[in-house]
Amino acid sequence: MNVSTIKLACWLISMSLTFGLSYYAYDFYKDFENIKPLAKGSPELEEANNYVRSVLQETLDFTPEGRDGITYPEVTRTWRTYNWTGKLAPIIVETPDDPVDNTPKLTSVRTVLRLLMVQVDAPIPENSRIYVAYIDARIAEDAPVWLGPGDTLPEPFESTTIVSITVQGVEFAHAGFDGQNEIVKPGDEIDESLIVVVGPDGVIQRPAKPGIPMMSRPDLLVPKETKLIGKNKYQIGTEDAVYLGENYPQILTNDLRYRTYRNPKTGRRGGIELQDVRAGSVAERHGARSGDIIISVNDHAVTSVQEAVSFVKTNSERFSTWDVVVENMGRRRTVTYQSPNN
């Protein structure tokens, strides 16, 4: 077959394809001209719309086939899981060498506070006290520094209670540790020369060793300003005691607004109502609160300020401890004041 024959064959084939394509286009055009628009709401239009919807839905529901390859993280995870050997790696459960001890730990009093002074009252043991400084920074700065038997340590050590204060030492009980009371002996924390023993004849300062001079430390025994030494319990300071005795008329006038309280049910006088207590005043520092109703002083019912002042003056040599019963919003409490000479 020569070149001319090949060219002729290609030309005939091209002409055939061109003729076929032209005829197909002409036929499509004739059919397109014969297409009539479907009337709105006609069965034919509804059928055509349903067909289109089905085609679109099939397109939306199409899910491509899964790929055969895997990503690099999957390869890395697979190699780790099978430990490069084709077999699952063994599961290793780590156990501590020593068992975990979940038992509560005992916090020693020696890590919480330091004893600065011990005052032992032999005739009345419950009046014995210790003067402390707190070592643990978690204890608030305004925590009481004078503590006595039955008092608990400030938070977060409120589970520790003072059992007794004697010459032999201060005994502390730790809640949850029965039989493990802790005794802090004077020699453990303080110089024994600072131990104060109160006997029938008054205060006796006992030296720890021969040759150590006996010293009077009233500045440690009784503070100059009144201090909160327990719950609703105050130690009246030496300077505050003098100020109260000399200036009580001015305190009643400037620091307080009060009136005689009358029981709303009976109409009878039943105490002294403190309507307002000036912030920062001496009265406030001694525990007075607005709304307090003073009911009695050392079991003596009071109905006026003059009567209360007269009772205290008359019995100042008789009592060294004053228990004041106070009511506020229907709840009663007893506030105790210890005189400087106690």
24 sits in which H/E element: helix 3-33
Domain boundaries defined on the chain: 109-221, 229-338
Q: How many Å is the Cα radius of gyration of the chain?
A: 49
Lowest-confidence pick of 39-48, 159-168, 309-318: 39-48
Cα angle 237, 238, 244; round to 5: 80
pLDDT for position 235:
86
The 3-class secondary structure across the chain, one letter per residue, is CCHHHHHHHHHHHHHHHHHHHHHHHHHHHHHHHCCCCCCCCCHHHHHHHHHHHHHHHHHHCCCCCCCCCCCHHHHHHHHHHCCCCCCCCCCCCCCCCCCCCCCCCCCCHHHCEEEEEEEEECCCHHHCEEEEEECCCCCCCCCCCEECCCCECCCCCCCEEEEEEECCEEEEEECCCCCCCEEECHHHHCCHHHEEEEECCEEEECCCCCCCCCCCCHHHHCCCCCEEEECCEEECCHHHHHHHHHHHHHHHHHCEEEEEEECCCCCCEEEEEEEEECCCCHHHHCCCCCCCEEEEECCEECCCHHHHHHHHHHCCCCCCEEEEEEEECCEEEEEEEECCCC
Domain covering 229-338, topology: Pdz3 Domain (2.30.42)
- The confidence band for 37, taking pLDDT boundaries of 50, 70 and 90, is low
pLDDT for position 295:
92
The token pair that represents 281 in the structure block: 């005043």
Straight-line distance from the first to the last Cα atom of the chain, in angstroms, rounded to the nearest whole number: 142
Lowest-confidence pick of 218-222, 234-238, 254-258, 294-298: 218-222
CB atoms under 10 Å from CB of 169, counted, come to 18
pLDDT for position 249:
87
Q: What is the pLDDT of residues 190-210, one digit of tens each?
A: 544 444 455 455 444 443 444
Q: Does the pLDDT of residue 342 top 90, yes or no?
A: no
How many CA atoms within 13 Å lie on the side-chain side of 111? 7
Cα dihedral 124, 127, 132, 134 sign = positive
pLDDT for position 93:
66
Q: Does the pLDDT of residue 316 top 70, yes or no?
A: yes
